[in-house]
Amino acid sequence: MKLNTGMTHPRDFSGAMTDISFLLIVFFLVSMVFIADTGLLLSLPEEDSVPKEMPEEEVLALTLNENHTLMQGEEIIEKENVGILAKEMKERGVNPVLILTIEKGNPYQDVLNIMEEAKKGGIELFSLNTPEESPIPVALDKENNETANQTP
Amino acid sequence: MKLQIKPRKKATGIVAMSDISFLLLIFLITTVSLDTDEDLKLPSFLFASKAGYSETVYITVPREEGVAIINDMKIPERQIASELTRLAIPLETPVNIMADARVDYQRVDSLLKTLQKKELNNVILVVEQKSEEP
């Protein structure tokens, strides 16, 4: 007489194992992030480098004040109009440089938005400046959209 | 006479499927990193470029004031300079700055100045690629 020991045949597990592994695959596919960073490549200038003097007519000097308002001197300008200002300068035959003074309390995203508008207007050279300290000059490379230092 | 031909059992198909699914699982487990930085919202930028370097240092500037994360190690923000010295990072190594879009720009600026002082001049501001406007 054959006794029933309660043991099942191992073949019965294979279906369940496939189900579990597929469930795990679905979990990983939903929760995973592939490491592929995109960014702005900056090349900071040497700390002891001599600041480059720019002709006044080539400079687009803007201030992002504590109230998150963008100013050109005493005049308020819309962030979206930075590109238009840059294009006007380009039409006058100058290669404009944006000197952006950023006062305390301005979010990082706002600074990038202004840089983006300036880039749309054809500006490749930027100088990001915080009021109490010396500016960090950076330049966006035309071909690779990378930033390179504005060498003196 | 009519012959009765029994069809072959297809149990082997399931075994192969579980083999394949386990291979896929192993691939996913070894290549995937789970998204744990739910609080970190990277800024978006239209003119971002791919930054693929094998040897990099990651500095995260979270929304939490006064702290920074260097390669998954949380430290006070004022200790960034000393931590960079301790790590003895080669000067040509690119440094990835992952700052939250909502942080004060002054924090990013002071980090850039610290890196400049340490002569780590290759910097990547990690951003999310903004899709082209219509």
Give residue B128's pLDDT band: very low, low, confident or very high (50, 70, 90): confident
Averaged pLDDT score across all residues of chain B: 83
What pLDDT is stored for residue A34 in this prediction?
Answer: 61
Which residues of chain B does A24 touch, with a Cβ-Cβ cutoff of 8 Å? 25
Three-state SS for B6?
A: coil
What pLDDT is stored for residue B77 in this prediction?
Answer: 92
Judged against a pLDDT cut of 60, whether residue A147 lies above it is answered with: no
> Could you tell me which of A148, A116, A5, A20 has the C-alpha nearest to residue B123?
A148
Judged against a pLDDT cut of 70, whether residue A139 lies above it is answered with: no
What pLDDT is stored for residue B85 in this prediction?
Answer: 92
What pLDDT is stored for residue B36 in this prediction?
Answer: 56
Contact (CB<8Å) B11/A11:
yes
- To the nearest whole angstrom, how far is the Cα of B4 from the nearest Cα of chain A? 27
Q: With left for phi above 0 and alpha for psi between -120 and 50, is residue B119 left, alpha or beta?
A: left
Q: Which residues contact B90 (CB under 8 A, 6 or more apart)?
A: B55
- Between the alpha carbon of residue B5 and those of residues A87, A99, A146, B2, the distances in Å are 82, 86, 71, 10
What pLDDT is stored for residue A7 in this prediction?
Answer: 58
Determine the Cα–Cα distance for residues B111 and B88; give it in Å rounded to an integer.
17
Determine the Cα–Cα distance for residues A59 and B124; give it in Å rounded to an integer.
25
- To the nearest whole angstrom, how far is the Cα of A136 from the nearest Cα of chain B? 8
Contact (CB<8Å) A146/B45:
no
> Could you tell me which of A121, A125, A128 has the C-alpha nearest to residue A86?
A121
Determine the Cα–Cα distance for residues A87 and A81; give it in Å rounded to an integer.
10
Best residue in B31, B109, B119 for a mutation probing chain A (most A CBs within 10 Å): B109
Determine the Cα–Cα distance for residues A58 and A124; give it in Å rounded to an integer.
12
Q: How many residues does chain A have?
A: 152
What pLDDT is stored for residue A149 in this prediction?
Answer: 40
- DSSP class of B83: H
The percentage of chain A sitting over the pLDDT mark of 70, rounded to a whole number, equals 73
Contact (CB<8Å) B106/A102:
yes
Cβ atoms A86, A118 nearer than 8 A? yes
Higher pLDDT, B125 or A47: B125
Query: What number of CA atoms fall less than 13 Å from residue B92's CA on the CB side?
Result: 3
Averaged pLDDT score across all residues of chain A: 78
ipTM: 0.70
Read off the pLDDT of residues B50-106 as tens digits, 9 standing for 90 and up: 766 667 889 999 999 999 999 889 999 999 999 999 999 888 888 999 999 999 999
Determine the Cα–Cα distance for residues B134 and B131; give it in Å rounded to an integer.
9
What pLDDT is stored for residue B111 in this prediction?
Answer: 94
- Strands A59-64, A97-102: pairing is parallel
Q: Which residues contact A24 (CB under 8 A, 6 or more apart)?
A: B25
The verdict on B20 touching A (C-beta cutoff 8 Å) is: no
- Taking the C-alpha atoms of A73, A100, A60 and B46 in order, what is their torsion angle to the nearest 10 degrees? -130
